[in-house]
Amino acid sequence: MRYEKADNLLQLALEMQAARGGLSLAEIEAKFAVGRRTAMRMRDAVLRNFPQAEEVATDERVKRWRLPPGTLDRLVNFTAEELAALESAARLMEHDNRADEAATIATVLAKVRALMKPEVARRVEPDLEALLEAEGLAMRPGPKPRIKVLVLEELREAIKACRKVRIQYRNRRTRQVKERLVHPYGFLHGHRHYLVGWHENPKANNVALFSLPNIEAVELADETFVRDPGFDLKTFAVRSFGLFQGEEPFETVWRFAPEAAADAADFVFHPTQTLETQPDGGLIVRLTAAGDLEMAWHLYAWGDKVEVLEPQRLVDMVHGQRMAWPALP
């Protein structure tokens, strides 16, 4: 426990150096999952051991503290676990056909290695190899969408500069390619990858999803745009069970059979979910989200171990597709 406290104090000192705007007590509480009094003691311990720490002058009423750049540089080093996490992240991105992000993480990893002292690098290397060998990735079979790296690069540049873009977009049904004027806001990644942006068009003028594989080309326009201050990508994503945003969120209720209840309880189906254990050992899951088709796709994998209770349209979609899947080992 004593070592854990020392680790936390060192980590807090590193965080206070990394945060240019400083850290508040509330942020210390959140980062270390501690109460107010503990956060105050941790802050005081850092201030006591690092007298060069300073209070940051801000326009806020909340006090913030930081350590000047360079204070802890000689104490910073990298563990095999941290390097393995970066390597695994690059592999996951590569596996999900996000090659540009995989390359960026690989560049960060190379920079980190370059900063390591030679003797530390030699000491860490055997542990790193062992960790990477142990971290096997379950490669999902099936098709993966192709995404053009140049398209992503142009879109990211437009997002940073708040530049409008003209995209050549191929309609999934008609296969026709038409130009769209879009204010790019960000990306949603999942089993499919989408650009989220404001579609500037008299018949649209709203936030829409554009499938990244269907974007044939991107041209940065000279015009800039002002991002809607009321739009939040995380809130937008949470509205839906998956990625589709074509309907209003609705409440749905699922009942898992007793033999599947333990597995279902280990899943976070959606941030809004609530779980209710039943007297017979079954499990009731309630959540509010859009995307009945993607819900049906997911529920299909549970076969006859799940029953949709509400709403009726989802009951109709799922009931006839319930299969008696064999149990996994």
d(CA 91, CA 106): 9
Residue 68 has pLDDT above 70, yes or no: yes
At residue 40, the pLDDT reads 93
**% of the chain with per-residue pLDDT over 90:** 32
What phi and psi values does residue 15 have, to the nearest 5 degrees? Answer: -65, -35
Evaluate if pTM is beyond 0.85.
Answer: no
d(CA 77, CA 242): 39
Ordered by where they begin, the domains of the chain are: 2-75 (1.10.10.10), 80-134 (no CATH), 149-238 (2.30.30), 250-319 (3.30.70)
CA quadruple 75, 119, 86, 84: dihedral, nearest 10: -120
pLDDT tens for residues 159-206?
Answer: 888 999 999 999 878 889 999 999 999 888 776 788 999 999 988 888
pLDDT tens for residues 297-320?
Answer: 889 989 999 999 999 999 999 888
- Mapped onto helix, strand or coil, the DSSP state of residue 217 is strand
The amino acid at residue 114 is A
- Local confidence band at 1 (pLDDT 50, 70, 90 cut-offs): very low
The 10 Å Cβ neighbour count of residue 195 is: 26
pLDDT tens for residues 22-57?
Answer: 999 999 999 888 999 999 999 999 998 888 889 988
CA quadruple 282, 285, 291, 296: dihedral, nearest 10: 0
